[in-house]
Amino acid sequence: MPLDPQVEALLAPAPEGFEMTSLPIDVLRKYVRESSTAYPKLDVPLGGVVDRAIPGPGGPLPIRIYTPTGKAPFPIVVYFHGGGWVVGDLDTQDMICRGLCHGASSVVVSVDYRLAPEHQFPAAIEDAQAATLWAAAQAAQIGGDARRLSVAGDSAGANLSAAVALRTRDEGGPDLRAQILIYGSCNYPSERTPSADAFASGPILTDAAIAYFWKQFLANPEVDQNHPWASPARAADHRGLAPAFVASAELDPTRDDGERYAEKLLRAGVPTESRRYPGMPHGFVSWVGLVDQAQRCIDDASAFLRRWNA
């Protein structure tokens, strides 16, 4: 299927052949932040949004807490933003967090984890795990229910969510109700896939960008790529993991890796719902409010969370 017309219109102003990762990191971060926050905030009713910092492995860890309307206690979703572990912050995926908060009637705790290359693997995973443990311990103080705790993320954030799901299973909890994995590869790209070949030049995410982000994230790729926190697909055992919602974009070089992870979870007996969104490139859910399929993905993920939180 060709690129969705709504996405094509949004991408039209970009210069042909533009490769974001050719920019210096500080410029790249500024570019991603400005382009991500160029649209009005997603207009959904919320009970409140507050920024704060919690203790983290590397010092104070910024988070943003989204509270839905209604009566507490609510389910909790700990959210990790995308950006190749290199770019992104509490604002770049604000729209997704608002969508999930409203759609799933859940407190969403968005985490501003440490970024590479200043903080390489496993810093982001350590921050993600710390935030998840904090949300479970402080559930009552944030209007949440620790018994209904989930993790979610897009792209690199989906990989972090999958890693936290492995860690919480292996390290004595907390128990997770669900993991929401939005176009996360969950695997280092050491093998070519049909989608990697078909969409090596994008749209949006390219082979060059994928290689760039992994190079910034892993200090020792030859060794680190096999660590299950970096490549959750390579974990020795996937049995007993939290139920998973796996969203993939049709026109995405990482599509096949993400869908193969869903298949691996299913074979391990993990309740898994895998959905591919036609005509969509990597990153499309950040256009929720502008692209119909982005809203559909939020709706599907929210329905999955509501089902497992019932």
Closest CA to 66 of 85, 32, 90: 90
Q: Which of these is catalytic: 112, 252, 256, 257?
A: 252
Nearest-angstrom CA–CA distance, 272 and 248 = 13
Give the other-Cβ count within 10 Å of 171's Cβ: 10
Q: Determine whether 81 is an active site residue.
A: no
Nearest-angstrom CA–CA distance, 152 and 165 = 10
Q: Determine whether 224 is an active site residue.
A: no
Nearest-angstrom CA–CA distance, 284 and 50 = 26
Residue 199 near residue 2, CB atoms below 8 Å: no
Q: Determine whether 155 is an active site residue.
A: yes
Q: Which of these is catalytic: 155, 195, 248, 302?
A: 155
**Helix (H) or strand (E) segment spanning residue 280:** strand 272-281
3-state helix, strand, coil in the chain (%, to 5): 40, 20, 40
Indicate which residues carry an active-site annotation: 155, 252, 282
